[in-house]
Structure 1
């Protein structure tokens, strides 16, 4: 029996992943072991006809349970899910404890994890806790470990209040553009990978003028790291904090 293509792509990362996953600096061996252990179990299930669907049925996509603290999609249709890997960006008025960091946006690469979210939601929820400590591939268009998923687009801020998700990766892969506005947030759960200062909040965003495509709602969930220190003591005027998160896109 052929193994599900999604699972094969995850297994392939063992030979294709950047060396920094396996060097002595990388300290998420327990999470990686659990991730690949789950992948192995799913492969074994396929071999024994206990088969999660190998198709990419987006109707099966649902937000993680903790996101119930955010407004519901209210019947909106799941479109895509992306693993985001990049930085949260901050500024400081000075380098003293009397100042606090001010958020000025984020920059991230977005990797298409739609089929993982549809078929293996437990793996999907694990990805940010692993990915935030893996450097982005040197080749922008290379796949992202540990799930060996392909670049879908980029996340950045169009202006100080407008998070943009440009999913038009290449001339062939055109997924549209979601221009958004934050509507509400929820503190990350205690299980989130905190990094040095904590995981950034989970977010609910709605689309605004300039959106290309049927996007209506975007959720940032399963966040890992990204928060700044409590004060600006010893910090430069501008700095970045590494983070990862899952982004769920809903439309008409």
Structure 2
């Protein structure tokens, strides 16, 4: 139900000890950081206010969740599949550089992310979920671990992990939380499109870098739980610099995505 999600930031103390959320130092933060957090908390306050006058709480129905605007250039989900889970991922895109070729572009070397259960949040308030994805980039992944593996600055619980099993196989483990036991999905990239311009303008990373592309990934052998496809939308940050000049041999760029 809606209160368990939209009210979580305000009412978490009523169900358990409040997470130790980190302090946000506005004086040392960039304007984009402040704007992303302000957008999220202002929208959250508006949603809480609106929910007080609803006759019926919104229903968490994933069958009614559309793909976001801007996803039209990606292939659609395959026929016969249904949406099972939506997560907000927070982690790093990883890259390598060859010091002998400083003008070459960095090479992708996989990614690592914690996945947080945003299924009902997106189903009931897609705009708030998008604002949370942008705000989450402004907090370090370690701070979510310190908050009891709940996504800072919200209260969304951990539902999975994402990393690369090998150079071309992205692995999504949706069986690490007792509350979410959907299986594992090793997959490869099926299609990629740049983040839509309207989203890209509001979704730059911590150093002003563009958001990584939106993706469709499809299952490789070894998938369990009937999982078949993954879409990456609403990306925030994560892109490397244009060249390796001045970069170490290995480096990470923070990102968030749905």
Same fold (TM > 0.5): yes
For 1:223, the equivalent position in structure 2 comes to 235
Q: CA deviation at 1:74?
A: 4.2
Query: What secondary structure sits across from 1:80 in the alignment?
Result: coil
2:127 alignment partner, one of 102, 122, 127: 122
Q: What per-residue deviation string (whole Å, max 9, x for no partner) do you get for residues 97-148 of structure 1?
A: 3322100100000001001011111112222221112112243842112321
Q: Which has the higher strand share?
A: 1
For 1:64, the equivalent position in structure 2 comes to 68
For 1:79, the equivalent position in structure 2 comes to 84
Cα distance change on mapping 1:138 and 1:125 into 2, 3 Å: closer
Alignment of 1:44-193 (within 5 A): 44-49=49-54, 51-53=56-58, 55-75=59-79, 76-94=81-99, 96-136=101-141, 137-139=144-146, 141-170=148-177, 173-190=180-197, 191-192=199-200, 193=203
Residues matched between the structures, number:
244
Q: What per-residue deviation string (whole Å, max 9, x for no partner) do you get for residues 6-62 of structure 1?
A: 222133479646224355344422222222222222222222225551x32221222
For 1:29, the equivalent position in structure 2 comes to 34
Deviating more after overlay: 237-246 vs 193-202: 193-202
Query: What secondary structure sits across from 2:83 in the alignment?
Result: strand
Structure 1 spans left out of the alignment, 5+ residues: 247-252
- Conservation of the 8 A alpha-carbon contact between 1:96 and 1:231: no
The two structures, once aligned, show a CA RMSD in angstroms of: 2.3
Query: What secondary structure sits across from 1:4 in the alignment?
Result: helix
2:253 alignment partner, one of 226, 232, 241: 241
- Conservation of the 8 A alpha-carbon contact between 1:83 and 1:128: yes
Q: Does 2:212 align with 1:208?
A: no
Cα distance change on mapping 1:30 and 1:100 into 2, 3 Å: closer
Distance 2:233 2:138 in 1: 17
Could you tell me the TM-score, scaled by structure 1's length?
0.88
Cα distance change on mapping 1:73 and 1:172 into 2, 3 Å: closer
Query: What secondary structure sits across from 2:92 in the alignment?
Result: strand
Distance 2:179 2:38 in 1: 36
